[in-house]
């Protein structure tokens, strides 16, 4: 479920349930999934949600990014293109692009204005734990569970740097400062 709160009034103003078979627009929802990330995009009035199957993280039963109108939580057509669950979202504000990363090893770049995938950045050999835009640059960084990080130039969709965090069993999150 996605809940919407008015923090000024300290009250809930909306809620959207996940999967309801009786609804005609059921494909917009995360079916039987855990919501793994929420991405507010205030300049577009949108909220994006990423999901992963609660039965098996390797399942492709929820491999989409759902888009919701921020004011009403009404669904918009989802972004479909990942082969497996989606774990991380970020907003590339300078170019109005959504970035997504998940279990299928690829970073996807989306145009939310037309609900289309622009490009898939390939190069990781393991499931991704995150993707982040580095503000003020044309670069994004992605990291996978093995500790491999890639810095990408979005203008050319090419890797410009890689580095590792050796000696760790598994990475499970990514933050950029």
The string of pLDDT tens digits covering residues 82-124 is: 988 899 999 999 999 999 999 999 999 999 988 889 999 999 9
pLDDT at position 22 over 50: no
d(CA 97, CA 82): 16
Instruction: Please write the tens of the pLDDT for every residue from 29-83.
Output: 555 678 899 999 999 999 999 988 655 555 445 788 999 998 888 888 989 989 8
pLDDT value of residue 18 = 54
Write the pLDDT tens digit of every residue in 119-145: 999 999 999 999 999 999 999 999 999
User: Token pair for residue 12?
Assistant: 């809930």
For the chain, state the CA radius of gyration. 16
- What pTM did the predictor assign? 0.84
C-alpha triplet 93, 96, 101: angle, nearest 5°: 85
DSSP state of 125: S
Percent of the chain at pLDDT exceeding 90: 51
pLDDT attached to residue 23: 47
């Amino acid at each position: 479920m996605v809940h919407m709160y008015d923090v000024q009034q300290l009250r809930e103003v909306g809620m959207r349930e996940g999967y309801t078979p009786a609804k005609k627009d059921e494909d917009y929802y995360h079916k039987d999934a855990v919501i793994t990330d929420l991405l507010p995009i205030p300049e577009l009035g949108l909220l994006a949600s990423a999901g992963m199957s609660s039965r098996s993280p390797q399942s492709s039963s929820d491999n989409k990014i759902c888009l919701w109108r921020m004011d009403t939580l009404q669904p918009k057509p989802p972004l479909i293109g990942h082969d497996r669950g989606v774990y991380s979202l970020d907003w590339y504000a300078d170019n109005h692009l959504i970035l997504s990363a998940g279990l299928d090893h690829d970073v996807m770049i989306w145009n939310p204005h037309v609900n289309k995938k622009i490009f898939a950045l390939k190069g990781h050999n393991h499931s991704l734990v995150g993707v982040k835009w580095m503000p003020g640059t044309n670069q994004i960084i992605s990291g996978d569970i093995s500790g491999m990080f890639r810095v990408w130039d979005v203008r050319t969709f090419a890797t410009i740097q890689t580095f590792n965090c050796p000696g760790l069993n598994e990475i499970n999150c990514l933050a950029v400062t």
